[in-house]
Structure 1
Amino acid sequence: MIKKLLPILLALVGLGAGVGGGLMLRPDPEIVAIDPCGDTEAAALHDAEHGGDEEVPPENTAFEYVKLNNQFVIPDLDGGRVTAMVVLSLSLEATTGSREAIYAREPKLRDAFLQVLFDHANTGGFKGAFTDSSTMNALRRALVEVAQKTIGPQINDVLVIDIVRQDIG
């Protein structure tokens, strides 16, 4: 009888511990900065908790994320020989409603991105600690610059969604 009840009892104890842990580790609810009734006390509390120095994007600017259809494959060369392959997936942060314009110009954008990625690889950007924040920030800046030249000012940022480097040989 005890052999049959023990697994059920252990499952209930485990379930209870999981629920209890989940409740204890749940993040605090966000405080609304502006009360719809005009109460500014909630806004003052929010500013006091978060320092009040947050940079807030303009209210009239809404962004959507446009994932580019295919990954980018970049060879990493050393002395004319391919020593590694780098695969990246990119998405664009763009103003809402610009998705169709981006997809219409995607071949031109991919060509421009490939040139930036090849230049980055040729200057050693994918060697060593290639995911270092300063290296990745330089790559993102170059990608944003070429995206804005190709598509226009509706591009706000370029997001590196996935990055993988496979050494060869």
Structure 2
Amino acid sequence: MIKNLVGGFIMVIFVIGGAIAADALKPGDKRFFGNAAPAATAAAPGENAGPAGAENAGAQEKSSKKDAHGGNPANTGSTAYYKFSRQFIVPVVSDSNVQSLVILDLNLEIDPNLGESLYAMDPKLRDVIMTELIALSNEGRFARRMTDPSNYAEIRMRLLTAVQTVQAKGVRDVLILDLARQDQ
């Protein structure tokens, strides 16, 4: 009897310990991955990009110098990217049956100062994107040739319009990094 209790107790301890470790080490946890928003990555040279920001301190000082036109070169054309924490999975339904699944990995091209606010709005952004992806699926956009350039451009444009209903300023483009369809 004691053997069963000890075995069960040890199993409970391992499950709780595993859950705590998984929660502590998940990407985006500021306690372990620095203070920068995990989903926003600056692309402009000289930008302070999270934990490597201390190493870029000298580069930031250089970027504060004026360019030939009197402007700050770091502010002209600087771009950041917002990476969603997980992929979008869209069912393709025909005759009330799921025919295939479309998997999309999306990023948003944004103004560099928008990263933190988008991170806070992630659930709302995912919701409007999924709603638009379901609408596109119901229209047959994923049943046809997904790689057709006009279809691809239509998907990107519709997703950008959907995102801009939530965040009107600062989102420049929707980037489709991966697009795959898995037929059933």
Segments of 4+ moved more than 6 angstroms:
none
Distance 1:134 1:61 in 2: 27
| Residue deviations 1:119-163 (CA, integer Å, cap 9, x gap) | 000000001311111011111111111111112210000000111
| Residue deviations 1:17-49 (CA, integer Å, cap 9, x gap) | xxxxxxxxxxxxxxxxxxxxx8xxxxxxxxxxx
Amino acid at match of 1:156: R
Distance 1:61 1:102 in 2: 20
Q: Which of the numbers 92, 99, 102 marks the counterpart of 2:118?
A: 102
Sequence identity (%): 32
Q: Which of the numbers 67, 73, 76 marks the counterpart of 1:60?
A: 76
Alignment of 1:115 with 2:134, yes or no, is no
The residue number in structure 2 matching 1:140 is: 156
Distance 1:127 1:155 in 2: 28
Contact 1:71/1:89 (<8 A) preserved? yes
Amino acid at match of 1:85: L
Alignment of 1:91 with 2:107, yes or no, is yes
Distance 1:103 1:152 in 2: 15
SS at match of 1:161: strand
The residue number in structure 1 matching 2:182 is: 166
The residue number in structure 1 matching 2:166 is: 150
Shift of the alpha carbon at 1:82?
A: 0.2
| Residue deviations 1:90-120 (CA, integer Å, cap 9, x gap) | 0000001211111100100000000100000
Amino acid at match of 2:90: I
The residue number in structure 1 matching 2:143 is: 127
Alignment of 1:72 with 2:88, yes or no, is yes
Count of residue pairs the alignment pairs up: 111
SS at match of 1:98: helix
Q: Which runs of 5+ in 2 are unaligned?
A: 1-67, 69-74
Distance 2:77 2:161 in 1: 19
Contact 1:61/1:95 (<8 A) preserved? no
Distance 1:128 1:117 in 2: 14
Q: Which runs of 5+ in 1 are unaligned?
A: 1-37, 39-58
RMSD: 1.3
State the TM-score, normalized to the length of structure 2.
Answer: 0.58
Distance 2:76 2:182 in 1: 43
